[in-house]
Amino acid sequence: EAEVAQSPRYKITEKSQAVAFWCDPISGHATLYWYRQILGQGPELLVQFQDESVVDDSQLPKDRFSAERLKGVDSTLKIQPAELGDSAMYLCASSFHQGANTDTQYFGPGTRLTVL
């Protein structure tokens, strides 16, 4: 069964360093989502792509976070510089159609980031 792939699964870094996370959605899925989940809370959308275009990045802290999906397939989320408050699980999800109400979102295993 096709799955959303993410790497690394775990990342420990020191504050002020740069980190990058990678996501490969299910083949053929046009929509890709990056979520941040702080321990004990539900996920929060950071950025949504439709193919290579950003649909929603209203909750992305653009002073330090960036995301790209250059060829409309896999995606990279970067944080520079990392801060202590960035420690969280970063989840990637994909769906076939745009809009969460038209199709199920499939989630990857996540990248757990710890900033020391």
Partner 1 sequence: KNEVEQSPQNLTAQEGEFITINCSYSVGISALHWLQQHPGGGIVSLFMLSSGKKKHGRLIATINIQEKHSSLHITASHPRDSAVYICAVLIQGAQKLVFGQGTRLTINP
45 or 81, CB closer to partner 1? 45
8 A C-beta contact, residue 108 and residue 37: no
The first and second tokens of residue 37, run together, are 């989940």
5 or 81, CB closer to partner 1? 5
46 or 82, CB closer to partner 1? 46
Q: Name the one residue in this structure whose structure tokens are 């490969």.
A: 24
- CA–CA separation, 31 and 12 (whole Å): 28
Long-range pairs, 40-43, Cβ under 8 A, ≥24: 43/91
8 A C-beta contact, residue 61 and residue 10: no
CB of 37 to partner 1, least distance (A): 8
CB of 16 to partner 1, least distance (A): 26
CB of 100 to partner 1, least distance (A): 5
Residues that bind partner 1 (CB under 8 A): 37, 40-45, 48, 55-56, 89, 91, 93, 98-101, 104-110, 112
92 or 115, CB closer to partner 1? 92
